Structure 1
Amino acid sequence: MASVFRKALVIVLVLVVGAVASGAWFGSEAGVKVVRYGESNTNVLAVGDGTVTLTETHETIKPGTYWLGWTGAYTMLGGIVTRSPGRVTRQVLRGPMPSQGTPGYFGNVPPGDPKVAWGIDFSEIMIPTELGPAPAWYVPGRGTTWFVAVHGQNGRRKAELKVLPVVHDLGLPFLDISYRNDEGAPASPDGLLHLGDSEWRDLEAALREARRLGARRFVLYGTSMGGQIIGQLLARSELAGLVNKVIMDAPMIDVRMTAEQGAWNHHLPAFVASLSNQVVRWRTGVEVDRLSLIRHPPKVRPPLLLIHTTPDTDHPIEEARGLVATGRRLGWNITFEEFARGEHTEAWNVDRARYDHAVRAHLAADRPGNG
């Protein structure tokens, strides 16, 4: 009997260790794996006078402003007009009308490029990074203070276009960059994301190229992991002193807290997050604990507008609140805009007027000189 019990115990331990190891590997994949997106997630059920009816999903029932993309075309959708079982009808704000039966992708980021999204002319320039050229969208403006936008983990440049109308209206030159592992940009040597620990050097390269083109000062705007990339540039770059202001939207402020949230999302015990971070370190060499702007704030701390939604389950609101507390302790000028609704990076989508006002006020306050 004792022998049977020992065998059973060994089997249980093997299963537990296997499950934990699988969870840790899965957690590391969520952090560092390069992912491409693009499949359809809804269908057009009907088209009306200024409305479109879509399949009811978790995404399509969200209140606010979103986009529907299909076969290269895009439509901006507004609020919900009606709902019935399996169907949701939304207002069409701009763009062509899809045909009934069309599969499409309902998402929270603008489509295409600045011209497609907002009718704003732009050019594409190549940033000479240490790994090779990386494309960036450039919208010209007045003066020598440039607005530089940095997207998040496995994102695309178009994610940063929500803020472009306000920036363009204020006349700031706008540079929307790509970085290693993006589509059209060089891959990292190991083919993995480094959570900002290496990517900040591509942002630095973009600032150097912008200076060559006439920029003298910078406003940096980052969403999700783009916030961590900016934080690492402020901590480690010799160009950090040229940054006048920063805007972060749902940033990855503390990688350890992000990993713990990921474990919680998948109903895994908290210690799996720690193991996942160890796997990330083994796979990439990244010291995850160093990637905390709360415990290791950057040496250069320009005025920061911090935007975050309370329901965010990618980067929990506690990250933002922790950074605000750090700011108070250090005398760091942080303006915190906490939105009660909206998932990850959806503050603009759920309340565009408030979002645009906050960005405009931050950029206009003590406006940096254009000399």
Structure 2
Amino acid sequence: MASGSERRPRWKRRAWIAGVAVLVILVAAAGYGAWFGSEQAIGVVHYGTSNTRVLTVQGDLVTLEQTPESGKPGTYWLEWSGTYSMLGDVVSRAPGRVTRKVLRGPTPSVGTPGWFGNVPPGDPEVAWGIGYTEIMVHTELGPAPAWYVPGKGATWVVAVHGQNGRRKAELKILPVVHRLGLPFLDISYRNDEGAPPSPDGLLHLGDSEWRDLEAALRQAQTMGARRFILYGTSMGGQIAGQFLDRSSLANLVDRVIMDAPMIDVRMTGEQGARNFHLPAFAAGLSSQVIKWRTGVDTDRLSLIRHPPKIRPPLLLIHTVPDTDHPIQEARDLVAAGRRLGWKIQFEPFAQGGHTEAWNVDRARYDRLVRDFLSPARGTL
């Protein structure tokens, strides 16, 4: 039988082994969380084609399989087999299903799988019946496609989509821009479908993508553009912000519109950690992993702490319930703007998810954009 003095060292050894095991597990979990967080921020994603299914059709009423997307209130689109319908607000609900009215486009057949989304489908012609030309912007990495809708005068609206988005996301603003007669350029940038990849195959959260926006403006100059209005959604807002801070062309920008922009990458990362039920410190670890993988200092990507050198009037639109880029980012930018004398028109929307202000209240959104852009008609 072991004596008490023998049992004590054995107990201490077991406790030490258990402590080491727990530490290894915690370190592994923290490492996984940090890598996962970095992948959510800088990984390149090209989306699939189906997230709901048509269950029944009655006249112009379509009943869809209810999903977190298809059950949202507001105006959205359903794409399938190369075509689409614009769907209005929810008419009725039942367990597992939601019924909406077809506002525009054909009615899908029962059983059709489709992609229910908050951005217009296709190109300007498909989405709104507006003619356009596809041009290639000569970026430092190679040609990147852009949609050009002609207009009058030398002040162009240039649109920049968000993280892992597509050009069609920016088409919500096109009808207003087109009615005002302003030329419209909807660009792609590195890692987009059809655009060249970045050297490391990763997103840089605006830290390098702004150079593709600069290339687009230089090409627009060769086509007659002299002044610019930037429209950026989600990460597109951060790209616009970095352009205003770093580009020699920034002083040619008259106005900026940002919709749910990534204003502060650190705050966005902290929100992402909350979304995935990770501890708060995971966001800081993810930032370190992002820096290791890309060389990007995410603390530098804060328009609040590091406002751009050029600060034209800004229309800032943001939905209060946004769980991708928390509205506190927008509020903090407005506060910083007051201290700097930066003219920011802040327009929060009480409903809607990320970049869904247009979807939940199109009339208000269009009015805000029209009123903000209307002075540009004086430069035609």
Asked if 1:71 corresponds to 2:81, the answer is yes
CA-CA distance at 1:38 after TM superposition: 2.0
Secondary structure of the residue aligned to 1:63 is coil
Secondary structure of the residue aligned to 2:121 is coil
- Counterpart selection for 1:157 from 167, 171, 181: 167
Assess, with a 3 A threshold, how the Cα gap between structure 1 residues 160 and 366 changes in structure 2: closer, same or farther. closer
- Counterpart selection for 1:227 from 222, 234, 237: 237
**Is the Cα contact below 8 Å between 2:234 and 2:355 reproduced in 1?**
yes
Assess, with a 3 A threshold, how the Cα gap between structure 1 residues 368 and 333 changes in structure 2: closer, same or farther. farther
Letter in 1 for 2:356: E
Partner of 1:124 in structure 2? Answer: 134
What are the equivalent positions in structure 2 for 1:165-176 lying under 5 Å apart? 165-176=175-186
- Counterpart selection for 1:258 from 259, 268, 292: 268
CA-CA distance at 1:365 after TM superposition: 3.8
Letter in 2 for 1:189: P
Distance (Å, rounded) in 1 between the aligned partners of 2:278 and 2:98: 34
Distance (Å, rounded) in 2 between the aligned partners of 1:260 and 1:344: 16
TM-score by length of 1: 0.99
Partner of 1:184 in structure 2? Answer: 194
CA-CA distance at 1:39 after TM superposition: 3.2
Secondary structure of the residue aligned to 2:379 is coil
- Listed as ranges, the gaps of 5+ residues in structure 1 are none
- Counterpart selection for 2:116 from 106, 113, 120: 106
Partner of 1:318 in structure 2? Answer: 328
Asked if 1:213 corresponds to 2:219, the answer is no
Asked if 1:89 corresponds to 2:99, the answer is yes
- Counterpart selection for 2:151 from 117, 120, 141: 141
Distance (Å, rounded) in 2 between the aligned partners of 1:256 and 1:270: 11
Partner of 1:290 in structure 2? Answer: 300
Secondary structure of the residue aligned to 1:115 is helix
CA-CA distance at 1:152 after TM superposition: 0.3
Partner of 1:363 in structure 2? Answer: 373
Distance (Å, rounded) in 1 between the aligned partners of 2:38 and 2:67: 28
Q: What CA deviation, in whole Å up to 9, does each residue of 1:68-88 have, x standing for no partner? A: 011111000001111111111
**Is the Cα contact below 8 Å between 1:145 and 1:368 reproduced in 2?**
no
The count of residues paired between Structure 1 and Structure 2 equals: 370
Partner of 1:278 in structure 2? Answer: 288
Pair member with larger Rg: 2
Asked if 1:8 corresponds to 2:10, the answer is no
Partner of 2:55 in structure 1? Answer: 45
Distance (Å, rounded) in 2 between the aligned partners of 1:83 and 1:26: 36
Distance (Å, rounded) in 2 between the aligned partners of 1:21 and 1:75: 44
CA-CA distance at 1:366 after TM superposition: 6.5
Distance (Å, rounded) in 1 between the aligned partners of 2:36 and 2:133: 39
Q: What CA deviation, in whole Å up to 9, does each residue of 1:188-207 have, x standing for no partner? A: 00000000000000000000
Comparing 360-369 and 71-80, the one that deviates more: 360-369
Secondary structure of the residue aligned to 1:149 is strand
Secondary structure of the residue aligned to 1:142 is coil
Distance (Å, rounded) in 1 between the aligned partners of 2:187 and 2:154: 18
Partner of 1:349 in structure 2? Answer: 359
Aligned-pair identity (%): 74
The alignment's C-alpha RMSD in Å is 0.8
Distance (Å, rounded) in 1 between the aligned partners of 2:246 and 2:31: 34
Q: What CA deviation, in whole Å up to 9, does each residue of 1:76-122 have, x standing for no partner? A: 00011111111111010000111001111111000000000000000
Letter in 2 for 1:220: L
**Is the Cα contact below 8 Å between 2:255 and 2:312 reproduced in 1?**
yes
Letter in 2 for 1:47: V
- Listed as ranges, the gaps of 5+ residues in structure 2 are 1-10
CA-CA distance at 1:56 after TM superposition: 1.3
CA-CA distance at 1:367 after TM superposition: 4.7
Assess, with a 3 A threshold, how the Cα gap between structure 1 residues 124 and 92 changes in structure 2: closer, same or farther. same
Q: What CA deviation, in whole Å up to 9, does each residue of 1:312-350 have, x standing for no partner? A: 010000000010001111111100000010000000000
Partner of 2:37 in structure 1? Answer: 27
**Is the Cα contact below 8 Å between 2:155 and 2:376 reproduced in 1?**
no
Distance (Å, rounded) in 2 between the aligned partners of 1:361 and 1:39: 36
CA-CA distance at 1:211 after TM superposition: 0.3
Letter in 2 for 1:54: L
Secondary structure of the residue aligned to 2:86 is strand
CA-CA distance at 1:227 after TM superposition: 0.2
Distance (Å, rounded) in 2 between the aligned partners of 1:239 and 1:39: 38
Distance (Å, rounded) in 2 between the aligned partners of 1:56 and 1:153: 26
Distance (Å, rounded) in 1 between the aligned partners of 2:144 and 2:376: 33
Distance (Å, rounded) in 2 between the aligned partners of 1:60 and 1:149: 26
Comparing 343-352 and 49-58, the one that deviates more: 49-58
Secondary structure of the residue aligned to 2:39 is helix
Comparing 5-14 and 198-207, the one that deviates more: 5-14
**Is the Cα contact below 8 Å between 1:244 and 1:368 reproduced in 2?**
no
